[in-house]
Copies of this chain bind each other. A is one copy, B any other.
Amino acid sequence: MHGIGFLQDLAVIMVVAGCTTVIFHRLRQPVVLGYILAGLLIGPHTPPFMLITDESTIRNIADLGVVLLMFSLGLEFSLPRLREVGIAALAATGVEVMLMLWAGYELGRWFGWRTTDALFLGAMMAISSTMLVIRVINESGRKHEQFARLVFGILVIEDVFAIALIAVLSGIAISGTIEPGQAVETIGRLSLFTVVALVLGLLLLPRLVDYVASFGRSEMLLVTALGICFGGSLLAAAAGFSVALGAFIGGAIVAEAQSVKRVERLIEPLRDMFGALFFVAIGLLIEPRLLFEYAVPVLLVATFVIVGKTLACTFGGLVAGNDGHVSLRAGLSMAQIGEFSFVIAALGLSRGVTSDFLYPIAVAASVLTAFVTPYLVRSSDRIADVANAALPRKVRGLMAAYANWIAGLKPVEENVAIAQMLRRLVVHIVINMALVVAVFLAAAWVKPRMLQWFPQWTAGDTIRRSVLWSAALVVAMPMLIAAYRKADALGMVLAELGIREGAAGARTYALRRVLGKMIPLAMLVILALLVMALGSAILPSHEVLILLLAGASALAAFLWRSFVQVHARLQAALRDVMQSGREGEN
C-alpha cells in the first residue's frame, strides 16, 4: 500500500537468506553464518549493487530481533534453574569471564587501541554464544553427558554476566569514561532494578499470563506476552539500561507462568524471523575492505578467543572442582563468541564510543570461531583424552586431590539445612531492603512532578514533603518490619551456632540472647539510616520530622501485626507463582 520498498527489502532478505541458510545447513555450518553472509551479499559494500532500499526501517525491525532473542532466552532461563546450576557453575563462570575480560583488554592495549576499544573487545571476547553452543551440543547428541551439564550451567550464568556487562558498558557508553566508582554504582542500580522488577513482576504478571491463557486463544496470549516483552524493554530503557535487560527480565518473569510452554511456542517464529533480520542487518554493516585491512587483528582475536576461552573455561571448571576431562571438553565447547558480542559491539558503535573497525572485527572473529565450534565439540572427547595422556602424572594427581578437597567442602546433612536457612534469610533481608530503597526513590522521583500533576493542590512545601514522606514510609513499612524480623531470626540462628552449649557454661543462654539481639539492633540502625539517607530529597524540616517519626513508630507498633500479615501474604503469593510455574512445566 504505502510504498513497496519495505516489502521488497523483506522479500530480498528472506529469499537470499533462505538460499544461504540452506547452503550452510548442507555444509553443516551454523545457520546464523548464512544470515550474516546474506546480509553481506545484499549490503551496500558488495557488488552488484545495494539491494536494500529502506535500511533504517530494516534496522528498526532488526532491533526487535535482540529484544525477542533476549525475551526467549529469559523464557528458557527461569529462576529456580539458576539455583539448581549451583555455586560450581558460578565459580567456573566468574573465573572464566574475568580471565577473558582481562585477556581481551590486554590484547586491545597491545594493538595500541584506545581504552574504551580495548574494554569493549574484552567484553566481546568474554561471552560465548548460547544459541550456537546449545544447538551444536543438541545436534551432536551429547546433551546428557556430564560436560554438557557444566556447559549449560556456565551458559546460564554467562547470560547474567553479559546482562551486567551490557549495563556497565551502557553507562560507560553514555559518560564516555571509565570510572570504577561509576561501574559499582551502575551494578548497584542494575541489581536494584532487577530485584524490584522481578518482585513486582512475579507478583502480577505470571497470574495475568495464565488468566489470558485460560481463554484458549493464542492470539491474545501472544499479544499479552509481547506487551510484557516490549513493555519490559521500554521500562529498562527508561531506567537507563539496555532494552536487552528488560526483555530478559520480562522473559524470566513469564517463565514462572504455568503456560510458559505455550508462550514459547508462540514467540519462537517471531524470534526466528526477527532474529534472521537481526543477523542479516549485522551482515549489512560488514565492510569487506575493512576486513582485509584488519586481517591481522581479526586472526589474532579469533585465535585468542579459541585458545583463551578453552583454557579459561577449563581452568574455571577445574577451580569449581570438575575433573580435567570434563573441564577441557566444556572449555572446547565454549571456544567461540556470538550474539552477545554483536549486541556489545553494536552498543559501542551506536553510541560512538568505539572505533569503526571494532564492529567488523567482532563479526569476523565470531564468524571464524563459530566455524570451528562444531568441529571442537565433535572431537572434544578425543582431544581431552590426548591432553590427559600428555599431562605429567604429578599434575594429574594434584588435580584429583584438589577436586577431592572441593567435593569435601560441600556441606553435609544438618549443615545443608542450616546453610540454606541462613542463605534464605540473607536473601530476604536484601530483597526487602531493595524494595524499601525503590519506594523512597520512587517518592523522590514523584516529588518534583507533584505540582505538575496536581496543580490545584496549593498546599505549602512542608505539607507536601510531609505527606509524600509519610506515604513512602507507610508503603515501605511492611518491608521494613520484615527486614527487622528476618534479622531477628538470623541473629537467633547465628547465636545458636556461634555459642555452643558447654563452651560458655551456664552463661550460654544469656550470651546467646545478647548476641542474638545485636543483629536485629544493627539492622534497625541500618534501616533508620537508610530511610533518612534515601528520604533526604523529600525530608521535611526537623520539627515536623520528629513528629512524623513518632507517629510512624506509633503506627508501626499499633499495626505491626497487619503489616506482618500484608508482607506474609505477598511473600506467599510470590512463592506460589514460582512453585506452580515449575509444576506447570513438568
Contact = CB atoms under 8 A, between A and B. Distances in A.
Nearest to A346: B1
Interface stretch (A14-22, A452-460, A561-569): A14-22
Interface centre among A17, A226, A346 (most CB of B within 10 A): A226
A575 interface: no
A203 B395 CA distance: 65
Interface residues on A, range: 35 or more
A251 to B, nearest CB: 15
B18 A268 contact: no
A231 interface: yes
A230 B10 CA distance: 7
Nearest to A231: B11
Interface string A22-43: 1001000001000000000000
A212 B22 contact: yes
Interface stretch (A111-119, A270-278, A397-405): A270-278
Given A60-B2, A215-B25, A269-B267, A8 B234 contact: yes
A4 interface: yes
A15 B243 CA distance: 17
Given A217-B25, A219-B276, A220-B25, A227 B347 contact: no
Contacts of A149: none
Interface stretch (A62-70, A84-92, A485-493): A62-70
Which of A66, A212, A234 has the largest number of chain B CB atoms within 10 A? A234
A11 B235 CA distance: 10
Given A2-B60, A67-B7, A269 B218 contact: yes
Interface in A208-262: 212, 215, 217-220, 222-224, 226-227, 229-231, 233-234, 237, 243
B14 A223 contact: yes
B227 A14 contact: yes
22 contacts: A1-B63, A2-B63, A3-B60, A4-B234, A7-B230, A7-B233, A7-B237, A11-B231, A14-B227, A15-B227, A17-B227, A18-B227, A21-B223, A22-B224, A25-B217, A31-B219, A54-B60, A218-B268, A223-B273, A223-B276, A226-B273, A268-B269
A-B complex: 4 closest residue pairs judged by Cβ atoms? A11-B230, A14-B227, A15-B227, A18-B227
Interface of A: 1-4, 6-8, 10-11, 14-15, 17-18, 21-22, 25, 31, 54, 56-57, 59-61, 63-64, 66-67, 212, 215, 217-220, 222-224, 226-227, 229-231, 233-234, 237, 243, 266-270, 272-273, 275-276, 346-347, 350
